[in-house]
Amino acid sequence: MHELGITQNIIAIVSEHAQGKKVQRVLLEIGKLSAIMPDAVRFCFDICAKGTIVEGAILEIWEIPGMARCRQCGATIPLEKPFGICECGSVQLDLITGEELKIKEIEVEELCV
């Protein structure tokens, strides 16, 4: 399960960017063609966050659908797999979306002084 290593890296990056502040929420974008299973990331998140400033944070995941542009006719088509065929018959497709893995937002606790 490579999602464990990916989630450990996400926690490390979020912790670094939070600059010592308690993390309340993390928003990830995961493309449907990325070979990363959002449910596995959700499962690993609390385990990997334990004992860090990310512990207890809410994890939100936006799944980004796969889309490609046909090199032959220029059409934009949805993809369920990292390959496909356009209505024009061409298999020469350029992926537009679906391979993302991004930490889109983190929300940290504001400290009152």
CATH value at residue 49: 3.30.2320.50
Helices in 36-102 by DSSP H: which ranges? Answer: 38-49
Residue 48 assigned as binding residue:
no
- Which 8-state DSSP code applies to residue 82? S
Q: At what angle do helices 3-18 and 38-49 cross, to 10 degrees?
A: 50
Does pLDDT of 97 surpass 90? yes
User: Is 24 within the bounds of a domain?
Assistant: yes
Confidence of residue 2 (pLDDT cuts 50, 70, 90): confident
pLDDT for 8 equals: 97
- Kindly report whether the global pTM for this prediction surpasses the value 0.75: yes
Cα distance between residue 33 and residue 43, in whole Å:
20
Residue 44 assigned as binding residue:
no
User: Is 91 within the bounds of a domain?
Assistant: no
Does pLDDT of 60 surpass 60? yes
Strand, helix or coil for residue 37: coil
Quote the number of domains for the chain. Answer: 1
Give the helix/strand (H/E) hosting 104.
strand 101-108
Residue 112 assigned as binding residue:
no
